[in-house]
Amino acid sequence: MRLRRRPWLVDVEPSRLSVRDMAAEAAAGIAQRPGRSVLTTLGTVLGVGAFVAILGLTSTASGQISEQFNVLTATTVTVKTVDERGFGESRGEGPATGTEPVDSAFPPDSDARITRLNGVETAGTWRRVHFESDPVIAASPEVRPGSSTSLGGISPVFAASPGMLRAVEASVTRGTPYNGFHERRGERVAVLGATAAQHLGITRLDSRPAVFINQQAFTIVGIIGDTRQMPEMLAGVIIPRGTADRLYGPASVESSEEMLIRTRLGAAALIAGQAPTALRPEDPGLFTAVPPPDPRTLREKVNQDLTGLFLVLAAICLTIGTLGIANTTFVAVLERRAEIGLRRSLGARPRHIAAQFLAESTSLGLLGGMVGTCLAIATVVGVAVVQDWTAVLEPVAVLPAPLIGALTGLIAGLYPALRAARIEPQKALRQ
């Protein structure tokens, strides 16, 4: 007898299950117990939802920070003198009344030196004028006791270069601001802040009123109604820098000078680097220029602070979700032993059984992930609407989120699927 080389093989085609059929069976498996499927996905919904919502809310919140970080601050550079090398220190104490020009950290032509730089719109220096005791500020030379407008320990008298008034975008409601002429000649003129003017009872300038600082008259040339920065100026008397230098001495430790530079958009960092050299080419180390903070570093910092903790919470939710799916799938395997036996009798191989349950758990995870992502997007948008923010959702975080759900479902299904594949059909069918 000739040895047969399994000639029937042509006839026996191994069982197989197409991906499409497997997906259809998985869908049917999920759909046959909709209530349970919904409950099962809850953990994944929460996990993936928390994950997306946290990333969305942090990116939205940091988006607002960069929004607050607006054009105003992005174009402001502040230049300060390095404290321990302040010029005033070496020059002794007391209000100098001398008229001879004295050295200040900021040269007299600071405004011009800085404005010359490409990218600068306006620049000016300012300081609070230091008095030994609180200055008496009044609208007339005769001062009755108790009529002082002293604002406590802080001097309300500002010495500001003409450029400073432009740099803070002071809006002059009456009269005009003083200018370079007053500055150079040390003219005794003043600009009043709106609040100070109201306090002194000065509303009109056509009678050429004066303000008296310690009985010294200053002609009021203008009143400023508002500023975009340094609103404290509105409560003060602002005199030209040159005038202050002449009458009260230059900047000192008690009244350190600062410079405010308004740059064009995007030029702030560059100007911050150039300003010290432009002011004092022979000793730029005397100044520190503070550029506006970089919005990117700011955002990253916020992200790190918030995300770390919440991502841990999301991971915990996901773990619970995985356990939930694993549990339900396992129960389903036990419940459907007869079905497994039947499928085996219809030609299914163990791997087909495993694939079916894996497909079911993965679909549950994917479903949960999609629902969670949708809820999270709704949450982020809702919060943004309530807070009047702009919702920011990174596609990199949102689009793969349902896949995270699918992955948890796949992992959750591994053990139950293996168990299902190992069920012996003859025992399962005898139930």
Partner 1 sequence: MTPVISLERISHTYAGPPPVTALHDVSLVVERGEYLAIVGPSGSGKSTLLNVIGLLDQVTIGRYLLDGVNVATLSDAERAAMRGGRIGFVFQAFHLLPYRSALENVMLAQLYRSAPRKARLAAARESLRKVGLQHRMEAMPTHLSGGERQRVAIARALANHPQLLLCDEPTGNLDSATAGTILDLLDELNNEGQTVLTITHDPLVADRAQRLVAIRDGRLTDEVGS
* Contacts to partner 1 by CB under 8 A: 6, 8-9, 11-18, 21, 25, 28, 31-33, 338-339, 341-349, 352, 424-426, 429-431
Which runs of E-coded beta strand occur in 82-194?
Answer: 120-128, 137-138, 157-160, 171-175, 189-193
What does the alpha-carbon distance between residue 416 and residue 404 come to, in Å, rounded to a whole number?
A: 20
Nearer to partner 1, 113 or 336 (CB): 336
What does the alpha-carbon distance between residue 235 and residue 332 come to, in Å, rounded to a whole number?
A: 77
Q: How far is the CB of 36 from partner 1 (least distance, A)?
A: 12
Q: How far is the CB of 371 from partner 1 (least distance, A)?
A: 22
Nearest partner of 148 among 234, 65, 237, judged by Cα: 237
Nearest partner of 135 among 219, 71, 196, judged by Cα: 196
Nearer to partner 1, 341 or 369 (CB): 341
Q: How far is the CB of 346 from partner 1 (least distance, A)?
A: 5
Q: How far is the CB of 431 from partner 1 (least distance, A)?
A: 7
Q: How far is the CB of 381 from partner 1 (least distance, A)?
A: 37
Q: C-alpha distances in angstroms, 294 versus 60, 263, 287, 290, 305?
A: 18, 15, 20, 11, 17
Q: How far is the CB of 347 from partner 1 (least distance, A)?
A: 2
Nearer to partner 1, 30 or 237 (CB): 30
Half-sphere exposure at residue 214, Cβ-oriented, CA atoms within 13 angstroms: 13
First-to-last CA distance in the chain? Answer: 45
Q: How far is the CB of 421 from partner 1 (least distance, A)?
A: 12
Half-sphere exposure at residue 336, Cβ-oriented, CA atoms within 13 angstroms: 23
Nearest partner of 103 among 112, 92, 118, judged by Cα: 92
Q: How far is the CB of 30 from partner 1 (least distance, A)?
A: 11
Nearer to partner 1, 315 or 346 (CB): 346
Nearest partner of 40 among 411, 367, 379, 313, judged by Cα: 367
Nearer to partner 1, 320 or 429 (CB): 429
Nearer to partner 1, 18 or 97 (CB): 18
Nearer to partner 1, 102 or 429 (CB): 429
Nearer to partner 1, 12 or 396 (CB): 12
Helix (H, G, I), strand (E, B) or coil at 240: strand
What does the alpha-carbon distance between residue 36 and residue 73 come to, in Å, rounded to a whole number?
A: 55
